[in-house]
Structure 1
Amino acid sequence: MPGLQFSVLLKIDSYTLMRVMLIFIIILGLLFICTLVFFIYKKRINAKIKSWEDQVSLVVSTAVFNLDEEFNEIISKNANKLKNHRFRQYLINEIILARKSLSGSASENIKMLYENLGLNNDSFKKLHNKKWHIKAKGVQELAIMEQTKYVKQIFRLTNNKSELVRNESQCALVSFYGFSGLRFLGVTTYTLSEWQQIQLLNKLHDVKPRNFDIIKKWLQSPNESVVNFSLRLATFYNRFDVYPDVMDCLSNTSLQVKLNTLNYLKRIPREDTAGKLVDDYSYENKSYKLAIINALNDIGNEEQIAFLLKQLHHSDNDIKLAAAKSLSHLHPLGIEFLKTHLFAHEDPWKTIFLQIENEHMI
């Protein structure tokens, strides 16, 4: 009986194994077929795009040089292709590339081509696509081609849940209207990333705003990133008129807001600025204390020497080093004053003073 049972089990296991192997072979076969189909499909698409290259290049170059008769003839020959959405998107991509590399009348001719062929409608339709990357691409295309008539729809996307869509939409508004395009700051509920803030500032590099009053409202925003960006704007544009509003930011609970406030105050100080920073010093954490001491290096005066001397006795060596550096700039005797310190030849002072001496020699 045991032998019979073992024989039966062996047959069952062999049958099961065969079934598993068969299923595995079928799966491999299906994967191979799918891969082959995809490869053939991709090859056909690439071949089709390759065949479009010369035609699209001719369309774009003819438009650039504004050759009306030739252009109408070329468009007529490609009328059927222009009904193909893949061809139209390929044409849009090439037009976008051309627009980026051209200026003056040639750039305007490319814009006219884009509009005359109704390609702006293709880009606009992307704004309603459920896929975030397609939506973002649509915004980017409309921005590059200066399609300001779609500004209302783009403005709504500045607070979209997708970061990429938000970023493209915000940059588009600034591209359209410069500083006034930042009006989305009043309604955005999402965080402006550090990279996005840099991108926006880059777009504003040559822009001179007529009215800067709105920044006072942004400095009071419940969105911390909007406050930080507003402080950067105030620093970027050297706005003296918002100084009182910036000073209010020193009472903000965010360390980053405080640090950005210090950056502004180092650029645009008043006579009493250093004194006010010292008044707030005892209430802050180490990072901000260090930032205050370092700021005194730029905007301090002899009135802060007593305060800095006191910090030389702080238990934290980083605080000692920062205070010593600022003292070497503010004290009438400069770095020579540090050498008269009672413990100048003992650690950590020996190391601290040596480091400061080396920095002054550079």
Structure 2
Amino acid sequence: MNETQHLIEYFKQSPFIIQLAWIISGVFFVSIVPLIFYLKYLRGHLRENEKIVAKYQNEYEQYLVTYLYTGNEEEEISSDQQLIINKLKKCIVEPFKRKIVISTLLKLKNEISGEMAESIQKLYFQTGLIDYTLPKLRSKKWYSLAKGIRELRQFQVKEAHDEVIIYINHPKREVRKEMQLYMVNLFYFEGLDFLNVLETPLSEWDQIQLLEVLQRFDNQKIPDIKPWLKSSNDSVVVFALKLAKIYNQFEAKDELINMLEHKNKDIRIDVIFVLSHLIVLEAKEVLKNNFDMRSQEEQIAFFKMMENLYENSDEPFLLEHIHNENFEIKLSALKILKVINSDKFNNIKLESLEPEFLRIVNFIENN
């Protein structure tokens, strides 16, 4: 008791800052102790939950293996398979078990191919799982909607096309991304039709994902990209330019040349690189004629194009720019001149007295 009174007296007589430190320490102690006990409970609960999930996964995997190997050619669904379907129908009534069934189906579907993979897909319909997924497409919760579209994509449900496409301009990027992946994974290049009405931005990451999916499919007919090159959505135009380059869409050269006057400078620069890749020589004359009116970035891009598409007739134009104020343009002009007329290049070197210019010339000669 005396010790307690002594501590109280000590606390009262202590400076305010020490009293505040003791109060804060006490608050932290009172807060931390319950959290420690809660974390221990949570860890135990998660471990128990993991055991339950593992148990059900093992059970459902056995069901699926039995389903796959008890079929026969005489019946569309054998009696043993129907027994498995009935068991799974009872399981999926509970959301917790339904989630495990779906993850188990997907896991097995990703590990097998051919007829067995098709059997798993059929089982998705036979168990009625589709009836739990389709209502998600009408959900007001964006994450539930996105999850529903993803599941339809994973199980290759093409029949939901009309219900999915309506979310093309959904305010949530996650929903739009799932819609786009659904269209391309299931309908390949035809699925890109959504670009015709896309109003929202197609991010760089979205474009990379779509291109990655498209490049998995061989011998697919490439759609006409010309309407997308004229889109009012700049991100659609950028994506169409990538398609033009990757799939060598030379037939779109006239539209690409016209796009050298596009209002977006970054798109104009991209167009120059695509025209260079496609070796469209006509574009050179267009760019030469209004070279001085273009931004410095476009001028640099044009000289990069010239390095790929140079001709002997380009010599007068090159001579105009060997003393350009921009280092990259000056370097490109001299590099090309050395290739198409080495004598002229050497004469220029001998005539020049400017040290910096001579350093550039010597660099080109030695590289």
- CA contact under 8 A between 2:67 and 2:81: conserved in structure 1? yes
Decide which moves more: 45-54 or 16-25.
16-25
Match of 2:246 among 233, 236, 242: 236
Shift of 1:307: 0.8
Match of 1:31 among 35, 50, 56: 35
Deviations 1:63-88 (A, max 9, x none): 44353444333444555433221221
Q: Which residue of 2 aligns with 1:265?
A: 275
Deviations 1:144-163 (A, max 9, x none): 21111211222122322222
Decide which moves more: 22-31 or 96-105.
22-31
Q: Which residue of 1 aligns with 2:95?
A: 85
- CA contact under 8 A between 1:308 and 1:327: conserved in structure 2? yes
- CA contact under 8 A between 1:133 and 1:165: conserved in structure 2? yes
Structure 1 gaps of 5+ residues are 1-6
Cα RMSD of the aligned pairs, angstroms, is 3.1
Change (3 A) 1:40 1:308: same
- The CA distance in 2 between the partners of 1:133 and 1:352, in whole Å, is 58
Change (3 A) 1:274 1:21: closer
TM-score, normalised to structure 1's length? 0.83
Match of 2:115 among 105, 118, 140: 105
Q: Secondary structure at the match of 1:342?
A: helix
- CA contact under 8 A between 2:168 and 2:194: conserved in structure 1? yes
Decide which moves more: 138-147 or 11-20.
11-20
- The CA distance in 2 between the partners of 1:263 and 1:247, in whole Å, is 12
- CA contact under 8 A between 1:197 and 1:229: conserved in structure 2? yes
Q: Which residue of 1 aligns with 2:66?
A: 62
Q: Which residue of 2 aligns with 1:3?
A: none
Q: Which residue of 2 aligns with 1:341?
A: 348
Q: How does 1:162-201 map to 2 (within 5 A)?
A: 162-201=172-211
User: In structure 2, what residue type is equivalent to 1:341?
Assistant: I
Q: How does 1:1-362 map to 2 (within 5 A)?
A: 10=12, 23-65=27-69, 67=71, 68-77=78-87, 80-129=90-139, 132-205=142-215, 206=218, 208-209=220-221, 211-212=223-224, 215-329=225-339, 331=340, 333-334=341-342, 337-342=344-349, 347-359=355-367
Change (3 A) 1:217 1:241: same
- The CA distance in 2 between the partners of 1:135 and 1:354, in whole Å, is 63
Q: Secondary structure at the match of 1:140?
A: helix
Shift of 1:251: 0.7
Change (3 A) 1:358 1:169: farther
- The CA distance in 1 between the partners of 2:219 and 2:136, in whole Å, is 30
User: In structure 1, what residue type is equivalent to 2:190?
Assistant: S
Deviations 1:308-332 (A, max 9, x none): 1111011222221121223334x1x
Q: Secondary structure at the match of 1:340?
A: helix
How many aligned residue pairs are there? Answer: 348
Shift of 1:178: 2.0
Deviations 1:147-195 (A, max 9, x none): 1121122212232222232122112111222222112212222221222
- The CA distance in 2 between the partners of 1:351 and 1:123, in whole Å, is 69
- CA contact under 8 A between 2:57 and 2:104: conserved in structure 1? no
- The CA distance in 2 between the partners of 1:128 and 1:256, in whole Å, is 39
Change (3 A) 1:76 1:170: closer
TM-score, normalised to structure 2's length? 0.82
What is the aligned-residue identity percentage? 24
Shift of 1:107: 1.3
- CA contact under 8 A between 1:96 and 1:141: conserved in structure 2? no
User: In structure 1, what residue type is equivalent to 2:252?
Assistant: V
Q: Secondary structure at the match of 2:338?
A: helix
User: In structure 2, what residue type is equivalent to 1:342?
Assistant: K
- The CA distance in 2 between the partners of 1:180 and 1:166, in whole Å, is 17
Change (3 A) 1:338 1:327: same
Shift of 1:210: 6.5
- CA contact under 8 A between 1:126 and 1:138: conserved in structure 2? yes
Change (3 A) 1:187 1:78: closer
- The CA distance in 2 between the partners of 1:316 and 1:16, in whole Å, is 65
Decide which moves more: 117-126 or 224-233.
117-126
- The CA distance in 2 between the partners of 1:260 and 1:207, in whole Å, is 27
